[in-house]
Amino acid sequence: MTYRYSDACIVVFCKAPIVGEVKTRLMPALSASEAAQAHITLTERLLTWLSASTLCPVHLWCSPDTDHAFFQRCATQYGVSLYAQCEGDLGVKMDQAIQTSLDAFDQVLLVGSDCPSLSEPDLIQALSDLNSGQDVVLAPAEDGGYVMIGCKASQPALFADMVWGTNLVFQSTVDRLNRMGLPFSTTPMQWDVDRFEDWQRFCEMK
């Protein structure tokens, strides 16, 4: 396949859709089974348009490993490569995935599997910004986090000792970038599906 950005890859972080272990904040409005299905629906939606975009190769980084039948089906259906996330907190996992990807590619965009607002133009902007001199690109989220980070070099200081899952993650990352003197850019504001209200918002846009 010919990619528009052959020197880049997209890393998608995804948990195995184990009932009772994913999208737990959608419960009890959704049952555990319905929450797991919501996770599958969001992931499949993302992989569908990513695989059709031909922007660059897509790598699915799986937790706890690549063995789950859902991941195997994604590899077959969407042509994504599977990788296992390492042990550790989210920052350790993200840093390791980015470092590994940069061994083979000049740029990497890491995204979550539950952000329905993220679009192809956002990814094109991120890749263009990295090509134009930015060291890092962030896609800020309405809840104070971010749903995508793009890098062209390993930046472990952006991931170490971060209190993940709070409304300070994006600003804390920006503060670190400023202290490090790294040029960065941001995409338009995004939103992801964490709460039942977010799931309702997603259902209304379909």
Convert the pLDDT of each residue in 3-22 to its tens digit. Answer: 999 999 999 999 999 999 99
pLDDT at 206: 64
User: Percentage of the chain surpassing pLDDT 90?
Assistant: 99
Quote the crossing angle between the two packed helices 69-78 and 32-53, to the nearest 10°. 20
pLDDT level of residue 79 (50, 70, 90 thresholds): very high
- Helix ranges, the chain (H): 32-53, 69-78, 90-102, 120-131, 169-180, 196-205
| pLDDT higher than threshold 90 for residue 81 | yes
Convert the pLDDT of each residue in 119-134 to its tens digit. Answer: 999 999 999 999 999 9
Could you say which architecture CATH assigns to the domain 8-201? Alpha-Beta Complex (3.90)
User: Percentage of the chain surpassing pLDDT 70?
Assistant: 100
Residues 82-87: contacts with CB under 8 Å, at least 24 apart:
83/59, 85/13, 85/61
Question: Where in the chain are the domains?
Answer: 8-201
pLDDT level of residue 168 (50, 70, 90 thresholds): very high
Convert the pLDDT of each residue in 87-145 to its tens digit. Answer: 999 999 999 999 999 999 999 999 999 999 999 999 999 999 999 999 999 999 999 99
pLDDT at 1: 82
107 phi/psi in degrees, rounded to 5: -140, 150
Neighbouring C-beta atoms of residue 25, cutoff 10 Å: 13
